[in-house]
Structure 1
């Protein structure tokens, strides 16, 4: 539930909708206050409000509402243009970073909210020709003027914010923060209190299959643990966030098989599906976003090795701390210390394969990017506490070395990169 609320708050329309509802409530509240204080003597406070009559108030509110709607449309056009540029330059999967940006959501939301507020206040103004007599919500009109002043400051902020958001450093930092967050969530320094080393038992089991198709967004491990404890069985999770599942494919195995009916409903509710991958629990997707940024930067059409250099440095921020941590314990015990759940985690070696397979293919002719990739391998290898991780890094360094030796690029750069590989290999072996 917490993850669903978090994702809902990141949806592009959520914050503008909340601000719009807030503007409607504020308008109604201030109109009610104006009616309650109509013709009342406010003393010193009354001097703070400008009273321009029904006609002047209509003109002010009409100008504010019309201009804010035009500015909101222009801002939305600028955002769409930036989205198109980011999609073609950095990759379509990075567009979600702009859509989830709270600054963009707030700017469009505040402009729309000001328009709605002005519209609601405007409709409440009455002149002397109305049977109920004249009514001008002076407090609400003055608040509309204040909102217009705030909107001018917001417009200046938006121009600065949208210019910064398309910079490589800003975009890669956002992706890096998502990578660090998912590493801390799935591979914490301190293992959960209920975690234990466990392997799937070699006993009869029964699978529970998926009732829908799509990408796995999350697996509620706590819900599965409670269901397994209640049914007195062991649930072995077979899928990870990021896996694409077709209806009818297996999600979990239940030991013993006769308990499968007791946990089927809970399993189907615990595994959440979506139409696209997200980095909230999918560490491979978080890594692949930075790898894609580097690969696109190294394409002949872009030819920007310094963006790739920046992406590899950001990868180190997430993968090096992960390499320093021991492999997570996959068993989960109940209150009676009985293993009831076996979860699954993507090994670091697979993430290393994703990164350095791309390096070997795309970065051979870019010494700047290759040097930073070799430094990334060196950092991971030195920090690794797991022998398999260290051996995987050394294997990829050997493959890159062989590819460099066969390369037809500038021999000076090739020899330099091969020298960097030798230095990295020696540093890793010395740290082991």
Structure 2
């Protein structure tokens, strides 16, 4: 699963796809030019006669210009990545690399260059060949592409100027947090597992202690788990699987990934291991703690002595309420994936909402002791959570409120 996500977030994927499309389009239009009579193409609207030297010059100029603009756009993007890494944290660079607009701009310019190169090689004069050939339709399409690319360039300038604003970066991070929160914390309590459905499990709801362990064969962070694939493997093998290495955990070779209710065959163990994707860094796709950490990191960076921007932290706390308040009201995370008969098949252990809220306020108190505006924003967030909290959580919020008010008074 993550392999596809990682590819889609890379700078090369969209340019590669657009490049292949450009080559196919160029070959197709050249074939059309060869098939249609010259008299017919000259009679089409907006298509004038072109000499071979004129067609080559036009294609060469467009292609060279687009490659130059692509290099400039890429340089600007790299500069923005460097600024973001130093100002807001290196872990937020992924947000710019995953920005589909930046990928689209680079893909558009490079694919136009490839299109022009492919078309230009088919232009022949009588000196080159027995008869001259100029793909008139293909050349005029290159002109249309260049006009479109000018619009893309204007869009890129506008987009890159907006994307470096802290509010835009926070909004993207918040979208990641909202997406993973919808996965981890269901809107319906029926997604959880009742006690009757836990037949065959240990008294604490886990896989019995005599279960088999499937261990990691590489080092890295657990980035994602292919949950549906894992559920299918468990159903097919008649197993109950407990995921002990949840997304965000770092494992080394030999660490347990999952525990099964019975010993799986070698093929089944390999399939189970394949559902867990490891990588060199944490990602917010299924790691809800890391998704929240990114938003908190922006706040902490704003409080650094070099930045001294408490209002970045204030906006981060205010925006986090849009996700944390519904989660606080909703309750606990999913604990299992069920089979067709309603019994648990895959057991999971996501962090509780209480743990997320604790980490947020602990960090705020640590770094915002001398920032009254940030502490006041923390109190506003506590008040919002208190309005949505049940009786069981009021005490925990009271502890945080007491600690924040103590920091504010000191």
1:244 to 234, 245, 250: 250
Query: Given that residues 234 and 240 in structure 2 are in contact (C-alpha distance below 8 angstroms), is that contact kept between their aligned partners in structure 1?
Result: yes
- Residue 42 of structure 1, CA deviation: 4.5
Distance 1:111 1:226, change over 3 A: closer
Q: Does 1:394 align with 2:407?
A: no
CA distance in structure 2 between the partners assigned to 1:280 and 1:367 by the alignment:
34
CA distance in structure 2 between the partners assigned to 1:375 and 1:209 by the alignment:
45
Q: Does 1:225 align with 2:231?
A: yes
Which stretch shifts more, 355-364 or 391-400?
391-400
Query: Given that residues 196 and 331 in structure 1 are in contact (C-alpha distance below 8 angstroms), is that contact kept between their aligned partners in structure 2?
Result: no
The gaps in structure 1 that reach 5 residues or longer are 408-432
Query: Given that residues 110 and 151 in structure 1 are in contact (C-alpha distance below 8 angstroms), is that contact kept between their aligned partners in structure 2?
Result: yes
Q: Does 1:306 align with 2:305?
A: no
Name the counterpart of 2:202.
none
CA distance in structure 1 between the partners assigned to 2:243 and 2:143 by the alignment:
58
The gaps in structure 2 that reach 5 residues or longer are 199-204
CA distance in structure 1 between the partners assigned to 2:21 and 2:267 by the alignment:
45
Deviations along 1:195-223, one digit per CA (max 9) or x if unpaired, are 44552255533322211110101122333
Query: Given that residues 375 and 404 in structure 2 are in contact (C-alpha distance below 8 angstroms), is that contact kept between their aligned partners in structure 1?
Result: no
Name the counterpart of 1:404.
408
CA distance in structure 2 between the partners assigned to 1:291 and 1:106 by the alignment:
30
2:219 to 213, 230, 233: 213
Q: Does 1:94 align with 2:89?
A: no
> What TM-score does the superposition give when structure 2 sets the normalisation length?
0.92
Distance 1:58 1:230, change over 3 A: closer
Structure 2 counterpart SS, 1:208: strand
Distance 1:58 1:350, change over 3 A: same
Q: Does 1:104 align with 2:102?
A: yes
Structure 1 counterpart SS, 2:224: strand
Deviations along 1:393-428, one digit per CA (max 9) or x if unpaired, are 2222222233334x3xxxxxxxxxxxxxxxxxxxxx
CA distance in structure 1 between the partners assigned to 2:34 and 2:192 by the alignment:
60
CA distance in structure 2 between the partners assigned to 1:304 and 1:87 by the alignment:
17
Query: Given that residues 196 and 333 in structure 1 are in contact (C-alpha distance below 8 angstroms), is that contact kept between their aligned partners in structure 2?
Result: no
Q: Does 1:158 align with 2:163?
A: no
Name the counterpart of 1:120.
118
- Residue 156 of structure 1, CA deviation: 0.9
Query: Given that residues 244 and 259 in structure 2 are in contact (C-alpha distance below 8 angstroms), is that contact kept between their aligned partners in structure 1?
Result: yes
Structure 1 counterpart SS, 2:38: coil
Distance 1:193 1:394, change over 3 A: closer
Structure 2 counterpart SS, 1:48: coil
Task: Kindly report the root-mean-square deviation, in angstroms, between the aligned alpha carbons of the 2 structures.
Answer: 2.1
CA distance in structure 2 between the partners assigned to 1:69 and 1:32 by the alignment:
25
Name the counterpart of 1:428.
none
Distance 1:262 1:191, change over 3 A: farther
Distance 1:363 1:233, change over 3 A: same
Query: Given that residues 216 and 240 in structure 1 are in contact (C-alpha distance below 8 angstroms), is that contact kept between their aligned partners in structure 2?
Result: yes
Aligned positions, number: 402
Distance 1:385 1:59, change over 3 A: same
Query: Given that residues 54 and 125 in structure 1 are in contact (C-alpha distance below 8 angstroms), is that contact kept between their aligned partners in structure 2?
Result: yes
Superposition map of 1:15-414 within 5 A: 15-42=14-41, 46-191=44-189, 195-197=193-195, 198=198, 199-200=205-206, 203-256=209-262, 258-259=263-264, 263-385=268-390, 387=392, 389-405=393-409, 407=410
CA distance in structure 1 between the partners assigned to 2:96 and 2:36 by the alignment:
45
Query: Given that residues 243 and 258 in structure 2 are in contact (C-alpha distance below 8 angstroms), is that contact kept between their aligned partners in structure 1?
Result: yes
Distance 1:386 1:63, change over 3 A: farther
- Residue 241 of structure 1, CA deviation: 0.6
> What TM-score does the superposition give when structure 1 sets the normalisation length?
0.87
